[in-house]
């Protein structure tokens, strides 16, 4: 029996106990965690300094080092984040449906935890804090694997969290820390013990996870997002919106990678759009018509399938709304796609037919984010249509069960016709 | 390009058009289908007679022949079932969430179809009618594979449905009929085109599907359901309830396979329970203590993991509620498990800690069924915690998308602090 499997078995056992915990117990544990993190901010920063020193020796790239840094201010900010999670409403025990099947036979559908959630994230140590606390809030046990470069930080942080969490309703073993690549490989194979995987990291990494496990995965690999400027586009609205979608933060999944422009809108739109993009340092490639109109470099077939995550955009001129929709459904990643138009019917058709989790009318693709959506906490952005779609808050970490409360009823009475179902809505919460 | 892939590509294209159809168009098509089936009842029964004749030549087992029969009365009953589906509320376009992110920037989460649903079912021809119509109702394209023994019936029925469905909002190609095992193997591999698989049939078949596809699967393989008679059991309630759970219909997934009995309740409960079971012809195997108390045959370790689907039950005496819960979570299939007790606290603990989709207090496991739950239509019973759990109605065939309606807002305005989010609940339906 490996240590990883031991951790998973402990998590499984802990998950059952967590399922019976009260929201008050879980919130109290979260507040203890927040206090402990704040109180130990300097200790944790010291552990982090070990990782930073090793990163310097190993000459890790600057962006990695920047993400790795977990100084006392960042620890205290993470503690504030934990307090915010504690303040969110309890996602468990919510009655989603209540039906009287017959007098004295009441059916309720109630939210409950998934069980054991496996999370694999890259170098940011605050991700460990956030995801462990989201799991605790939602009554799930967590198996966490952080980046190897943050090993000392993660160990110290996980130990602080585990110690502080200990208390009424919170069993030991609810959080397990995995440390090696071999642990991750083993995690992916534990579909008998793990209910959901949340991979955070590079596209390649997320795809690797999706391709190597039978456990359901919450997340997304690619973010190939489009902005389509329709025939009836207000150029004054479209240009800043498209520039925002492309450049406000280029290395994120909801940044636009391709602009589609209706041929009738192109003459008025392309010159100011290209000027604005060039002013921001954005390289432009385009379809033959865009090349002819603007003198930009030609796009290859591969460009339409590429998530640049950089100051680069591909532009294609289309002859109709439906051609734009077809392009998005063919080349997109079902993440976030926007139409800019003054034509309400065109917007309705685009929103109905584009097969993406987030479809926007006259708004930048950059808005698709759990915090901007007002969810308070974000588990991830899902491009799956199953379980959870789009930015996912705590509800992505819960499932439901049907509770039927009776007085000894048997199906035979109903099959024989001696009794009949009433199927009356109760409109009340499950009493237990 | 194979015919199966052609059918899937056609279904994919049709799914996009169906996503834009109105509920009225889809219901009108369902009513045309119902009329056509009723009008062609004798023609379809004639096609079915061909299958029945072949079944006689091939000496198929009686239960298969019984399921295969699709006489005019059964066709008309299926037509009535289609009318019932048409009468259900439209599962699409329902606003699940509405939030003002800022003035003039409104977010809605709205239900929409999954896309293409693949359904593989065994010999009952009415399953084809039901599942095709559930897909149409929910705006999904359907790829259907019925049993080979029902080939003539399925061809005639599918042709009648396709022809009748044709009309406003319903594109050709929304329903594809697959006919061979090779088609199914190909279907399981089409995770680029198929959004959900619904396998209906034997446990072995469902498990085969789950093990050989990356497409999400809605359904269940095993149904190892338990009834636990707690210490505070009313024997007069427990005996008929347990007999119902075991014998009301033995070959179905929600029939009980194991009874757990608290040691304190055993002396009063076991004698009348065994008498009642023997009167129904139920064979009993038990743990050593049950054997000692009742003289029944001993159960093997394998018995606790066995779905008998027959007049046979295993009985185990436990010393505590938690031992019962552990047994259910260890050996059960997360389908349906019941506690019989007069102790409300014990019931609450059982319902919270048993990790199954359906957890019952003082009611027979046989109640876990979409029709008994009042869902009107049942897609299947899911033992997954992801997407849909328990008996699944039309909502198992839909997903959702976020629609954001703006006036040209950019994220830069909010990142800079020039504007702030309001995150105010709107409490209204999405206007488009």
B329 touching A (Cβ < 8 Å): yes
Residue A192 lies in a domain: yes
Q: Do A411 and B248 touch (CB under 8 A)?
A: yes
Q: Out of A16, A351, A386, name the one closest to residue B329 (CB).
A: A16
Among B332, B350, B367, residue at a domain's last position: B367
Rounded to 5 degrees, φ, ψ at B26 are -65, -40
Task: Quote the crossing angle between the two packed helices B151-165 and B125-137, to the nearest 10°.
Answer: 30
DSSP class of residue B220? Answer: -
Q: Which long-range contacts (CB under 8 A, 24 or more apart) does A211-217 make?
A: A212/A185, A212/A188, A213/A188, A213/A189, A215/A118, A215/A188, A215/A190, A215/A191, A216/A386, A216/A387, A216/B216, A216/B384, A216/B386, A217/A384
Considering the domain architecture, whether residues A83 and A174 belong to the same structural domain is answered as yes
Does residue A400 sit within a domain? no
Q: What local confidence, expressed as pLDDT, does residue A194 receive?
A: 95
User: Which regions of chain A are under pLDDT 50?
Assistant: none
Q: Which two tokens stand for residue A78?
A: 């993470």
Dump pLDDT digits (tens) for A318-355: 999 999 999 999 999 999 999 999 999 999 999 999 99
Per-residue pLDDT at B1: 64
Asked whether residue A415 is assigned to any structural domain, the reply reads no
Ranges of residues in chain B with a pLDDT under 70 are 1, 123
* Domain-located, residue B417: no
In a domain, A217, yes or no: no
Q: How far is B50 from chain A (nearest CA, A)?
A: 33
Using a CB-CB distance cutoff of 8 angstroms, which residues of chain A are in contact with residue B249? 411
Count Cβ–Cβ pairs < 8 Å, chain A vs chain B.
235
Among A159, A176, A211, which residue terminates a domain? A211
Q: Tell me: do A206 and A231 sit in the same domain.
A: no
| Residues of B with Cβ-Cβ distance to A361 under 8 angstroms | 403-406, 432
Q: Is A280 on the interface with B (CB under 8 A)?
A: no
Q: Are residues A353 and A265 in the same domain?
A: yes
Query: Based on the domain organization, do B250 and B178 belong to the same domain?
Result: no
Q: With an 8 Å Cβ cutoff, is A359 touching chain B?
A: yes
Note whether A329 contacts B: Cβ–Cβ < 8 A. yes
Give yes or no: residues B89 and B162 share one domain. Answer: yes
Distance in angstroms (rounded) separating the CA atoms of residues A317 and A341 = 15
| Helix/strand/coil for A428 | coil
| Closest-CA residue to B15 (of B171, B130, B131) | B171
Task: Report the pLDDT value the prediction gives residue B379, as an integer from 0 to 100.
Answer: 84
Q: Are residues B323 and B232 in the same domain?
A: yes
Residue A137 inside a domain? The answer is: yes
Number of domains in chain B: 2
CB contact under 8 A, B374 and A195: no
Q: CA-to-CA distance for B324 and B346, rounded, in angstroms?
A: 11
Nearest to A288 by CA among A310, A308, A318: A318
Q: How far apart are the first and last CA of chain B?
A: 38
Q: Mark which of B349, B367, B385 sits at the end of a domain.
A: B367
Cα–Cα distance, B330 to A352 (Å, whole number)? 44
Q: Dihedral, CA atoms, B33, B35, B37, B38, nearest 10 degrees?
A: 160
- Residues A386, B387: C-beta atoms closer than 8 Å: yes
What CATH number does residue B339 fall under?
Answer: 3.40.309.10
**DSSP string over A179-236:** -SHHHHHHHHH-TTT--EEEE-S-HHHHHHHHHT-SS-B-S-S---EEEEE-TT--HH
Check whether residue A235 and residue A203 sit in a common domain. no
Contact A92, A111 (CB under 8 A): yes
The predicted structure's pLDDT at residue B37: 97
Q: Searching chain B, which residue's CA lies closest to the CA of residue A349?
A: B20
Cβ contact A405–B361 (<8 Å): yes
Indicate whether A354 and A258 sit together in one domain: yes
Q: What is the 3-state secondary structure (H, E, C) of A350-382?
A: HHHHCCCCEEEEEECHHHCCCCCCCCCCCCEEE
| Residue A349 covered by a domain | yes
Longest alpha-carbon distance in chain A: 81
How many other CB atoms are there within 10 angstroms of residue B276's CB atom?
Answer: 16
**Per-residue pLDDT tens for A263-309?**
999 999 999 999 999 999 999 999 999 999 999 999 999 999 999 99
Question: Which tokens belong to A198?
Answer: 């949340």
pLDDT of A110 reads: 94
B42 in contact with A, Cβ within 8 Å:
no
Same domain, A323 and A197: no
Q: Are residues B236 and B119 in the same domain?
A: no
- For residue A41, how far is the Cα from the chain centroid? 27
Segments forming the whole domain that contains residue A194 = 3-97+110-211
Verify that B264 and B115 share a domain, yes or no.
no
CA angle at residue B34 from B30 to B40, to 5 degrees?
Answer: 140
pLDDT value for A141? 97
Residue B99 lies in a domain: yes
CATH number reported for the structural domain that contains residue A170 in this entry: 3.40.605.10
pLDDT digits (tens, 9 = 90+) for B198-217: 998 778 888 888 888 889 99
pLDDT value for B206: 87
Q: What is the pLDDT of residue B3?
A: 87
What is the predicted pLDDT for the residue at B205? 85
Q: A33 and A152: one domain? A: yes
Residue A241 token pair: 């919106």
């Amino acid at each position: 029996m490996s240590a990883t499997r031991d951790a998973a078995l402990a998590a499984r056992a802990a998950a059952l106990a967590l399922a019976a915990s009260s929201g008050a117990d879980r919130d109290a544990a979260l507040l203890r965690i927040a206090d402990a993190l704040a109180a130990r901010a300097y200790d944790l920063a010291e552990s982090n300094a070990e990782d930073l020193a090793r990163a310097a020796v190993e000459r890790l790239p600057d962006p990695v080092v920047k993400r790795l840094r977990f100084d006392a201010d960042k620890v205290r900010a993470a503690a504030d984040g934990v307090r915010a999670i504690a303040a969110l409403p309890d996602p468990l025990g919510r009655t989603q449906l209540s039906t009287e099947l017959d007098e004295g036979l009441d059916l309720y559908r109630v939210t409950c935890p998934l069980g054991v959630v496996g999370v694999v994230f890259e170098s940011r140590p605050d991700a460990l804090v956030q995801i462990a606390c989201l799991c605790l809030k939602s009554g799930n046990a967590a198996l966490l694997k952080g980046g190897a470069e943050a090993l000392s930080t993660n160990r110290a942080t996980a130990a602080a969290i585990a110690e502080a969490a200990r208390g009424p309703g919170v069993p030991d073993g609810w959080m397990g820390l995995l440390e090696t690549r071999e642990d991750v490989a083993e995690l992916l194979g534990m579909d008998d013990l793990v209910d959901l995987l949340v991979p955070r990291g590079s596209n390649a990494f997320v795809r690797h996870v999706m391709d190597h496990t039978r456990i359901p995965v919450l997340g997304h690999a690619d973010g190939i997002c489009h902005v389509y400027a329709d025939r009836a586009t207000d150029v004054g609205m479209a240009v800043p919106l498209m520039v925002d979608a492309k450049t406000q933060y280029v290395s994120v999944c909801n940044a636009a990678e391709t602009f589609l422009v209706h041929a009738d809108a192109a003459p008025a739109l392309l010159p100011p759009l290209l000027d604005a993009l060039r002013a921001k340092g954005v390289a432009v490639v385009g379809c033959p018509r865009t090349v002819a109109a603007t003198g930009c470099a030609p796009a290859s077939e591969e460009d339409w399938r590429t998530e640049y995550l950089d100051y680069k955009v591909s532009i294609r001129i289309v002859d109709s709304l439906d051609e734009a929709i077809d392009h998005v459904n063919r080349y997109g990643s079902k993440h976030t796609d926007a139409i800019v138009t003054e034509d309400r019917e065109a917007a309705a058709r685009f929103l109905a037919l584009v097969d993406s989790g987030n479809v926007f009318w006259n708004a930048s693709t950059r808005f698709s984010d759990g915090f901007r959506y007002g969810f308070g906490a974000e588990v991830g952005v899902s491009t799956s249509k199953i379980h959870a779609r789009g930015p996912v808050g705590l509800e992505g970490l819960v499932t439901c069960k049907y509770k039927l409360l009776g007085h000894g009823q048997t199906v035979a009475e109903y099959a024989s016709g001696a009794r009949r179902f009433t199927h009356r809505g109760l409109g009340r919460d499950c009493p237990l």
